[in-house]
Amino acid sequence: MNVLERLRAAFAAATPEGGDPKSFGAAVKYTTDPRFRCDYQANGCMAVGNARKANIRELAAVVADAVDLEPMAGKPEVAGPGFLNVRLHDAWIAKSLGELLAGEFPGIEPPKAPRTVVIDFSSPNVAKPMHVGHIRSTVIGDSLARIFEALGHRVIRDNHLGDWGLQFGMILLGWKNDLDPEAYALNPVAELARLYRHVAARIKPADDLGDDLREVEALEAKGKAEEAAKALAKLSARTGLDRDQLKAAVAQARAVAEASRAETVKLHAGDEENLALWKKFMPYCLEALRGVYERLGVRFDVELGESFYNPMLASVVEDLQARGIATESDGAVVVFTEGFKAPFIVRKSDGAFNYGTTDLATIKYRDETWKPDQSLYVVDQRQADHFKQLFAVARKWGHDGAVLEHVAFGTILGPNRKPIKTRDGDTVGLESLLDESVSEARKVVDENSPELDADERARVSEVVGLGAIKYADLCQNRLSDYVFDWQKMMATNGNTATYLQYAYARIRSIFRRGGFDPAAVRDQKPAIILDNPAERALGIRILRLPEVLELAALELKPNVVADYLFDLANCFSTFFEECPVLKADTPERRDSRLAICDLTAQTLEFGLDLLGIDVVERM
Ligand code: ARG
């Protein structure tokens, strides 16, 4: 049951003259401010009163008389300039908790209008090992999928793999020139990754040294000979190369880049050898990803990568041209969109199709296959312009049935507040990051739970380590950059998965110590007693779960769930200090508290699961 939705409906029905019921209802908010001694607040009278130039407090008093909140709450109280404070009846909270305990948890009613939601997430460029940047799209997308599913919507999880781009040209080049057949026989995935890194390293000087040399030349062009000589000397000292050697190195690197592009073009043109090799490599590339997804507990319904759409690209461009949406410009085919200087290129002058052409084909395919109401693209915010323009083109093209949304996110920063890198300056591999997290967790678990045997500590460390990484990401507003910090993310108190997992394990231990079985407590249907304010505060939090999910889905923000769980765990902690459970003064009070504990544990378990995070019975 969604408490907020019910209150909104009640207030909407009592909208004063001149107000719009929808926005009047929407102005009801959950509020925790203890000054107001209320649980929810209706703030819609300000807008209506201002528009009507009426006395707002008087207007609020009229609404307070008219609105019927029974049996949830009594008459709201007018406060401040014209807020309406709602305090839920204790008896109603208790009764609702009892129903939740006896019924199917978490008691979310099916949506009136279930939606079909496509979630495009993770979507790495295969053939190169996954790096730290991939964690964000993967865990945010996975969490949104879980949230929409929990609300009863139909979700299609689509891993839009980058399986057709330049990185394959690079591997093909490496395969043809530098393959170590024995290493390949032993471990194909590792050898392909090595080939990729090898070619990438050979291309790198084209950018790095190329930039440095250009700077020297620019200084010379400006007549700053002395500065130019200094910069060149520094560059030579660093690289051990003189000017001619530097030039040669850059030229060589550019040649490797060019050769990789040529291999890619051949692949796209259907070259037999390259296509056969691509088919041979793909299963290994996918296998490497599979390991990471399995460990993270992430699954997909479809994995339709860029290559899947390749056969459709030519007809997408033709169709856009036939409808007069795309035009030729300097040999390329482009779509002009309002508000963008550069047009959206769907076919380059050399005849090659673009990332964006594939995205258009994808939109068409998804529309025809699943008729989605909503399509979410969980992708780095650096691609914001691409998606804005893509969506504009799609609308022009008539694919406007689904709401298309770019679910953007920021960058993970290292301790120096720059994008995170390893000590050697490489991007951090995702697998090694997960391993490191688990071993950091092991330190925490070894220290806090020496009584567990080694096997169990290893198991707990895996859950705690992965949970810490995921939660550190999901508890942030996804649009912010955040600093990666082991200490902070594994703290046992603070807004961390570890803290929430501890709260869960603590409840389990209460049941173990008292010899109670949660299922038996549920069956017994004890009356819920809310005499202590800490019991009431915790009870209200438990009932909020459905409304929190709605909010998270509306804003496309898993951190809404994380913040809620943190608040819940804090309330539990106060309850735990103030309300003895096993040593309660009466058996009735004990049973009620056991029930509240059980509901808290169920909420924590369910909520963490929405973030893709597990719990353990003891830690
Ligand atoms: N493979 C792309 C990248 O790594 C992300 C793809 C996102 N999805 C999409 N439909 N464009 O940057």
pLDDT single digits (tens) 104-146: 999 999 999 999 999 999 999 887 778 888 999 999 999 999 9
The pLDDT, as a whole number, for residue 127 is: 75
546 contacts 1 by C-beta, under 8 angstroms: yes
Question: Strands across the sheet with 77-79, in order?
Answer: 28-30, 40-42, 83-86, 77-79
Examine the pLDDT at 584 and tell me if it is beyond 80: yes
Examine the pLDDT at 276 and tell me if it is beyond 90: yes
How many Å lie between the centroid of ligand 1 and the Cα of residue 177? 29
Q: What average pLDDT does range 328-349 have in this prediction?
A: 94
For residue 561, give both structure tokens.
């769930």
Q: Which residues line ligand 1 (CB under 6 A)?
A: 120, 123-125, 160, 162, 359, 362, 377, 379
What pTM was estimated for this model as a whole? Answer: 0.92
* pLDDT tens-digit series, residues 71-110: 999 999 999 999 999 999 999 999 999 999 999 999 999 9
How many Å lie between the centroid of ligand 1 and the Cα of residue 345? 17
CA distances 159 to 278, 301, 307, Å, are 19, 8, 12
* Shortest-distance atom of ligand 1 to CA 359: 10
Q: Which of 360, 378, 383 to mutate to test the pocket of ligand 1 (most atoms within 8 A of CB)?
A: 383
* Shortest-distance atom of ligand 1 to CA 362: 10
Q: Which of 118, 121, 123 to mutate to test the pocket of ligand 1 (most atoms within 8 A of CB)?
A: 123
The pLDDT, as a whole number, for residue 416 is: 87
How many Å lie between the centroid of ligand 1 and the Cα of residue 390? 13
Phi and psi at 286, nearest 5°, equal: -65, -35
Nearest CA to ligand 1 atom 5: 123
pLDDT-derived band at 319 (thresholds 50, 70, 90) equals: very high
How many Å lie between the centroid of ligand 1 and the Cα of residue 384? 12
Taking the C-alpha atoms of residue 41 and residue 537, their distance in angstroms, rounded to an integer, is 16
What residue ranges define each of the domains in the chain, with the CATH number in brackets? 3-88 (3.30.1360.70), 166-296 (no CATH), 306-407 (no CATH)
Percentage of the chain lying above the pLDDT 70 cut: 99
The pLDDT, as a whole number, for residue 371 is: 97
How many Å lie between the centroid of ligand 1 and the Cα of residue 297? 21
Q: What average pLDDT does range 544-550 have in this prediction?
A: 97
How many Å lie between the centroid of ligand 1 and the Cα of residue 406? 11
Beta strands in 343-486 (DSSP E): 344-347, 374-380, 403-409, 412-413, 482-483
Examine the pLDDT at 595 and tell me if it is beyond 80: yes
30's enclosing H/E stretch is: strand 28-30
Examine the pLDDT at 467 and tell me if it is beyond 80: yes
* Shortest-distance atom of ligand 1 to CA 134: 4
How many Å lie between the centroid of ligand 1 and the Cα of residue 564? 31
- Lowest average pLDDT, out of 238-242, 251-255, 533-537, 579-583, goes to 238-242
606 contacts 548 by C-beta, under 8 angstroms: no
Nearest CA to ligand 1 atom 6: 123
Query: How many other C-beta atoms lie within 10 A of the C-beta of residue 8?
Result: 23
Q: Which of 379, 388, 390, 427 to mutate to test the pocket of ligand 1 (most atoms within 8 A of CB)?
A: 379
How many Å lie between the centroid of ligand 1 and the Cα of residue 136? 13
Own/partner pairs, 379-385, CB within 8 angstroms, 24+ separation: 379/120, 379/123, 379/137, 379/406, 379/407, 379/408, 380/133, 380/136, 380/137, 380/408, 380/409, 380/411, 381/408, 381/409, 381/410, 381/479, 383/408, 384/408, 385/340
For residue 185, give both structure tokens.
């026989």
How many Å lie between the centroid of ligand 1 and the Cα of residue 422? 24
Nearest CA to ligand 1 atom 11: 359
* Shortest-distance atom of ligand 1 to CA 379: 7
The pLDDT, as a whole number, for residue 190 is: 85
How many Å lie between the centroid of ligand 1 and the Cα of residue 359? 9
Taking the C-alpha atoms of residue 405 and residue 375, their distance in angstroms, rounded to an integer, is 6
Taking the C-alpha atoms of residue 439 and residue 461, their distance in angstroms, rounded to an integer, is 7
